Amino acid sequence: MRVLIFGGAGMIGRKLAERLAREGRIGDRTIESLTLYDIAPASPPAGAAMPVMVETGDLPAPGEAARLLAGKPDVVFHLAAIVSGQAEQEFDLGYRINMDGTRAVLEAARAADNCPRVIFASSLAAFGAPLPDPIGDEHIAAPLTSYGTQKAIGELLVSDYTRKGFVDGLALRLPTICVRPGKPNAAASGFFSAIIREPLAGQEAVLPVSDDVMHWHASPRAAVGFLLHAATLDGERVGPRRAFTLPGVAVTVGGQIEALRKIAGDKVAARIRRAPDPFVQRIIAGWPRRFDTRRALDLGFVAESSFEDIVRVHIEDELGGVMPS
């Protein structure tokens, strides 16, 4: 099979590519080629058994997606996006990348005429207050941010292009991925990772919201598992409703800090400094907290069962299993 990753230079795209290169297959199908696409060059994973092509470009530009889909990939992971905080501040750019880019991918797949499995990374931001607790998949998507609106539009497009037989698509509402390695990005949710990642690295972290803010999380390792599992699902088993929320851990910011304290100690947890930020607080206020993910669980998706597990995954995968002091 041929695999194409849009957003291949991003954190999840990189980890997905590394696992594909390591395992050499998706389900029972061998990967014949892997293409990584992004606005900046992705790093090819070391030791890949299959050819790995690195492509760069501007996804919404005319003909760009068609150029990539002309090779008729069997599986397309569409992870490319402008993140939440930046999409809210740069309105035109958010719509160009998140909406126009998604439409370009789907149109290119339609033109290629091979009905690939397209896995679209959606977001919990597709939902907006007022919200039930917990939120089921049947709850209406009524986002309160530009980013959430763009992701909700993408979900609808994936479902409609699937209904028409142009693609075999799935829209996965990913939990907030935590703990994200590397440098902070422009996502409004970035502090959820920062208050764990930076203290573990011996650095100060800034917390812009109150300790009682609750959110839905899964690790980068779980995110890659979600994507790979989605690539193997039987479309008939999924049915016509192609967008659904994935399992995760509901925890307050205070609960995150307590998990960090239990694992790494008081000295590490004391590196968090509280500095309220009205912009971030305003965005977060309309975000969902807990979900009923029975549908995803019934389809075989698996995540961590506690936030302590998520912290341990970060220590194992990013810190070499070495407990910081």
User: How far apart are alpha carbons 117 and 227 in whole angstroms?
Assistant: 11
Angle ∠(231,137,196) on CA atoms, nearest 5 = 75
- DSSP secondary-structure letter at 136? P
The maximal CA–CA distance of the chain, rounded, in angstroms, is 58
**In which residue are the tokens 């050499």 written?**
24
Residues identified as active-site: 147
Cis peptide before 134 (omega within 30 of 0): yes
Instruction: Tell me the helix, strand and coil percentages in the chain, rounded to 5.
Output: 40, 20, 40
**In which residue are the tokens 């069962």 written?**
305
Helix and strand counts by DSSP (H, E) for the chain? 14, 14
Give the pair of three-digit tokens for residue 55: 């492509």
**In which residue are the tokens 């969902």 written?**
288
Cβ contacts of residue 324 below 8 Å, gap of 6+?
200, 201, 202, 264, 268, 315
Residues forming beta bridges with residue 62, ordered by sequence position: none
Q: Left (φ > 0), alpha (ψ -120 to 50) or beta: where does 94 sit?
A: alpha
User: How far apart are alpha carbons 11 and 42 in whole angstroms?
Assistant: 10
User: How far apart are alpha carbons 206 and 249 in whole angstroms?
Assistant: 22
